[in-house]
Amino acid sequence: MTKQTFLHDKHVQLGARMVDFAGWDMPVQYKSIIEEHKNVRENVGLFDVSHMGEIFVEGVDALKFLNFLVPQDLTKLSDSKAVYCQLTNKHGGLIDDLIIYKLHDNKYFIIANASRVDEDINWMSLFKTGYNVEIRNESHNYSMVAVQGPKACDLIVHMGIKNLPPFFSIKEETFCGYNVLLSRTGYTGEDGVEIVAKNEYITCIWDKLLSEGKAYGIMPIGLGARDTLRLEASLHLYGNDLDENTTPIEAGLSWSVSKDKKENYNGKDVIMRQLQNGVDKKLFGLKMLDKGIARHGYDVYYNNNKIGTITSGGISPMRGDNIALAYLKNDLGLTIGSNVQVMIRDKFYNAEIVDRPFVKKRNKV
């Protein structure tokens, strides 16, 4: 049975087309994916992301426990700060990618992918023995909306939050009269916030954001535009670009991995070896030179040899061309400017390796 968020009726009233996503009945678009995409880049967009998982990890060993599960060094995380993390397995492959927030000593909050939250809980529980820690999946109690775009923060300030948390930080706030967690994060490459609230508050918050946001050009945004926005920003999608057989180093996430972390963690030997010696396959950004759209699963060729696979691909509404992420063999000397071919419906289409992100991010404040 597909699950519904507490905003489901709102989406239907707004005329959204609903689709199944990770077991949730979610809006894929309200009017037009392209229009919604551009509105997030130019004004502000409102997303229902209540399908995502909310996990609390509490206890005197919370830091030691979590630090064993991720390649990031959580000992360096101060109160109210967030860090982009990966849950790694013994081989360095990814159980999930997530954001870990330190609320305060001994209390951490995690946002996980909807499709992986149950797996995450199972995985974390496997390593719980010996740690004085409690893992609570609170996904069923919380809803979340994202407000993203160049005017997002102006809107939130206008609605009474005078001091926004800095980039990748979280604050307990009173918003629209309700207690919420307000986080300066997102999945679009734009500045903005994500607001986590108890389920019963979320429809009020949604309505208020839409009515107060009118003056800022707000639009509700579906998962279709969420996907094209994150692709332009070259943000990975678990299940497409990340999986249990892909390490953070192969995924181009070395920047997020601690190079000098003393403590052991799952997959550390593999990850450190790859940092030192390099990787056999690596994530590259492509732009199509020929008129064709590369999509998930299409094969990539170089000198008539198959060298990899597209993991995400589509149109870039802002660039006006077609872009993709692909895992390619790393021993061919491929670099920015190299030409490769994507097999689309049994025909070769030329593509060029380009720098990522495809569109400049504007959220580092």
Partner 1 sequence: MDESMLCTKTHEYVLEKDSAYDVGITDYAINQLGDIVFVELPEIDSTFSKNEVFATIESVKAASEIYMPISGKVIAVNEDIVNSPELLNDENYADKWLIKIESNADQVEFADLLDYSDYKEEVE
Q: How many other CB atoms are there within 10 angstroms of residue 291's CB atom?
A: 8
In whole angstroms, how far apart are CA 119 and each of 64, 97, 116?
21, 12, 5
Q: Measure the CA–CA gap between 152 and 5, rounded to whole angstroms.
A: 23
Minimum gap (Å) between residue 232 Cβ and partner 1: 12
Task: Kindly state whether residue 294 participates in binding partner 1, applying the rule CB under 8 A.
Answer: no
Q: Which two three-digit tokens encode residue 331?
A: 């021993």
C-beta of 36 vs 96, nearer to partner 1: 36
Q: Which 316-335 positions form the footprint of partner 1 (CB under 8 A)?
A: none
With binding defined as CB under 8 A, does residue 17 bind partner 1? yes
Q: Which is nearer to partner 1, 50 or 228 (CB)?
A: 228
Closest listed residue to residue 148, CA positions, set 194, 204, 181: 194
- Look at residues 244, 90, 284, 78 and name the one whose alpha carbon lies nearest to residue 165: 78
Residue from 18, 22, 33, 237 touching partner 1 (CB under 8 A): that is 33
Q: Any contact of residue 291 with partner 1 (CB under 8 A)?
A: yes
Decide if residue 231 touches partner 1 (CB under 8 A). Answer: no
Report if residue 346 touches partner 1, rule: CB under 8 A.
no
Chain residues 185-214 in contact with partner 1, contact rule CB under 8 A: none
Distance of CA 61 to the CA centre of its chain: 27
Contacts of 135 (CB under 8 A, 6+ apart): 55, 56, 57, 121, 124, 125, 128
Q: Does 308 bind partner 1 (CB under 8 A)?
A: no
Which of 208, 295, 329, 362 is in the footprint of partner 1 by CB under 8 A? Answer: 295
Helix, strand or coil, per DSSP, at residue 285:
strand
Nearer to partner 1 by C-beta: 33 or 87?
33
Tell whether residue 18 is a contact of partner 1 (CB under 8 A).
no
Q: Which residues bind partner 1 (CB under 8 A)?
A: 17, 28-29, 32-34, 224, 227-228, 291-293, 295, 314-315, 345
